[in-house]
Structure 1
Amino acid sequence: MPSRRTSNTGDSSASMGPLARFWRKTHAPDYVGFVVLLAGWMLIVNLVNPFHRMFFTNDLRISYPHAEHERVTVPLNFLYALFIPLGVLISYNIVTRASTHKHEATYLAFAISIVLSSFITDVVKNAVGRPRPDLLARCQPSADTKPNVLVTIDVCTAPDGHTLQDGWRSFPSGHSSFSFAGLGFLSLFLAGQLHVFNYYTGGRDLSRALVCLVPLLGAALIAISRTEDYRHDVYDVCVGSALGMTVAYWSYRRHWPHLTSPVCEEPHPHPSAEAQPGWQRVRDEEDQDSGLVFPLGTRRS
């Protein structure tokens, strides 16, 4: 199959201004987007109250006790799903003497996975305003509230604050999406580095696959703990987990090839990598789609 022709690559690069060249030849757009997402997430967490969906005071689904001591608190979730995976990523790249570009692609994609998942989760949480299973314990409805009648937050006697407002942030589970965004990304990274899905280089080695499943098991246990604390039901947890894993995969694939690629252990080329004027190598994905098998290290012409 012939390679694709590129047109005036060098000329177009030379015609760009310094700012445009910097924007196109670095990861600057990702860093800017990350900062915007992080700022937006912080604003939502600190300034936005959720929609208060109406409820019945005799609804058994929201009558569970309010757990004062959570199995996985927010700081612990940051430890398990952010700092520990980040430590593993850094340690692996240092031990394997990864290139500077690989370091950057790893941590940038990981950070975007965490922040984007959290941003989407909190936007949906506040928009949906679904009551938590322990809402009545948070709300403490007045004694004269009639059963079998839809009521609003106005019947609550508990002081207005985070505990009460958070009672309407059940869907989706933030712990679940956060844990799968971080630990799920780590699982994808390890699968790529160990060639778990490449039949010829590691796909038949169960031990490698089990290593990659450990982070997913940890994320699942964090998600399950939210139902044990009656902060969420199974529906909240499943949707949150799926959201976090989807964002993790999306963020991973923006910087890394598919897991069946023969070079899945290396990220996509840096934006500054110039294509050779005239001819450009076709991507690995296209090699696979063409149905042809090329020996590792060969190039098509």
Structure 2
Amino acid sequence: MRLPKFFSDQGSAKPMTRKRKWLLVRTYLPDWIITIVLWGLFYLLDRINGFRRTFDINDTSLHHTFAVHERVPPYALFLICLLFPVVVILIVSLGVLRSAWDLHSGLLGLILSLAVTSTATNIIKICVGRPRPDLLDRCQPAAGLSNPTPYTLSSSSICTRTDLLNDGFRSFPSGHASLSFCGLIYLTFYLAAKMKISNKRGLSIKTWILLAPISGAVLVAVSRSMDYRHHATDIIAGSILGFFIGWYCYRQYYPPLSHPLCHRPYSPRVPREDEDADAEGGRELAGLAANGQRNGNGNGMSKVVTDEENGVDGGGFGRSTIAEDGRGADGGVGLVDGVPVAEGR
């Protein structure tokens, strides 16, 4: 099946030995364990009674009505920030690229980013204790009540209703904004890399594809202001937090978008059985290329081999010929800042 031109083919790979499969499982198992522990920490933190700031009972920014039905309820947030990116990564990695390693790297980075974001967001919420815009509707203070004295503020002790009060002091930052931006910005980077957004050739369909997850994150964040669940600064802070963590976790497993091999995840921590034997030849060819002597012609010219002609599946420093995007035509290892990039294995 011929792939769409804006997706980059990972190519075919040699079968992986049973020994290397177990080594990979043992090597990456701690990553998954840490992720699961972080998710568990998130649910534990959600049940803690955090700090509650004092507030001015006459502050009109806290007088908004409590929205019983949210525009984006928690289950919808789960579908948007987690399930939707997972489905897209599954389709691209297995359906288009046919790369199990890309699937593993994509999902691990996504889940890790959401776990870190949710845990960090909850810790900040608990420590800051900022009142939500609908606090007084949750609180239901006695009619005609005012601040104790002209120069002091009220506390949660004036509230006559307590079932919604704990969540009423968790306005900063917005969890919906941080999680939606984290999951959907991660997906944006993932798709941008697969489509080689920075190849300087331009294709309008790329812009429209990448606009979808970004718009989704923005709309989820804005909905929190429409429901009077968060102040504007809460939403902005949550969006920045989610964006940064999503980008940071993506870069743990993939090269920057500016690199020619940005569509490929970093190589596994466990080297291939033949990688040691290839390393010396790859370094020798790299030295020749740097001095304009690739393929022994001495004038800096090399034989250019395209993906379609030879089914390129190598990395930046191959053993014989050099492909257009810097990949070896017969199984070399690409380097990004000295770090090997996977060949779709």
| TM-score, normalising length: structure 2 | 0.72
Q: Where do residues 132-143 of structure 1 align in structure 2 (5 Å cutoff)? A: 132-143=132-143
CA contact (8 A) 1:86 1:107 kept: yes
**Residue 29 (structure 1) shift:** 2.5
Which amino acid in 1 is paired with 2:118? S
- Per-residue displacement from partner, 1:57-83 (whole Å, max 9, x unpaired)? 111111111111111111111112211
Which amino acid in 2 is paired with 1:189? Y
Task: Return the alpha-carbon distance in structure 2 between the equivalents of residues 69 and 280 of structure 1.
Answer: 64
CA contact (8 A) 1:180 1:248 kept: yes
Task: Return the alpha-carbon distance in structure 2 between the equivalents of residues 280 and 32 of structure 1.
Answer: 37
CA contact (8 A) 1:179 1:219 kept: yes
**Residue 164 (structure 1) shift:** 1.2
- Per-residue displacement from partner, 1:179-232 (whole Å, max 9, x unpaired)? 011111111100000001222xx4x22321221121011100000000011101
**Residue 27 (structure 1) shift:** 1.3
Which amino acid in 2 is paired with 1:213? L
The percent of aligned pairs where both chains have the same amino acid is: 33
How many pairs align?
266
Task: Return the alpha-carbon distance in structure 2 between the equivalents of residues 73 and 246 of structure 1.
Answer: 24
Q: Where do residues 231-242 of structure 1 align in structure 2 (5 Å cutoff)? A: 231-242=229-240
- Per-residue displacement from partner, 1:86-122 (whole Å, max 9, x unpaired)? 1111112222143221111011111111111111000
Answer yes or no: is 1:255 the counterpart of 2:253: yes
User: Secondary structure at 1:27's aligned position in 2?
Assistant: helix
Task: Return the alpha-carbon distance in structure 2 between the equivalents of residues 104 and 251 of structure 1.
Answer: 14
Task: Return the alpha-carbon distance in structure 2 between the equivalents of residues 136 and 214 of structure 1.
Answer: 36
Gaps of 5+ in 1: 1-17, 283-292
Distance 1:23 1:195, change over 3 A: closer
Number of the residue aligned with 1:43:
44
Q: Given the alignment, which residue of 184, 207, 210 partners 1:209?
A: 207
CA contact (8 A) 1:102 1:266 kept: yes
User: Secondary structure at 2:55's aligned position in 1?
Assistant: coil
User: Secondary structure at 1:26's aligned position in 2?
Assistant: helix
User: Secondary structure at 2:276's aligned position in 1?
Assistant: coil
Cα root mean square deviation, aligned:
2.5
Q: Which moves more between the two structures, 252-261 or 90-99?
A: 90-99
Distance 1:68 1:281, change over 3 A: farther
Answer yes or no: is 1:60 the counterpart of 2:60: yes
Number of the residue aligned with 2:112:
112
Task: Return the alpha-carbon distance in structure 2 between the equivalents of residues 150 and 213 of structure 1.
Answer: 45
Which amino acid in 2 is paired with 1:82? L
Task: Return the alpha-carbon distance in structure 2 between the equivalents of residues 281 and 48 of structure 1.
Answer: 55
User: Secondary structure at 1:33's aligned position in 2?
Assistant: helix
Which amino acid in 2 is paired with 1:297? R
Distance 1:23 1:187, change over 3 A: closer
Which has a greater percent of helix? 1
| TM-score, normalising length: structure 1 | 0.82
Distance 1:280 1:108, change over 3 A: farther
Distance 1:171 1:281, change over 3 A: farther
Which amino acid in 2 is paired with 1:235? T
Q: Which has the higher contact order (CA 8 A, sep 6+)?
A: 1
Q: Which moves more between the two structures, 121-130 or 146-155?
A: 146-155
Between Structure 1 and Structure 2, whose CA radius of gyration is higher?
2
Gaps of 5+ in 2: 1-18, 284-315, 317-321, 335-345
Task: Return the alpha-carbon distance in structure 2 between the equivalents of residues 79 and 24 of structure 1.
Answer: 28
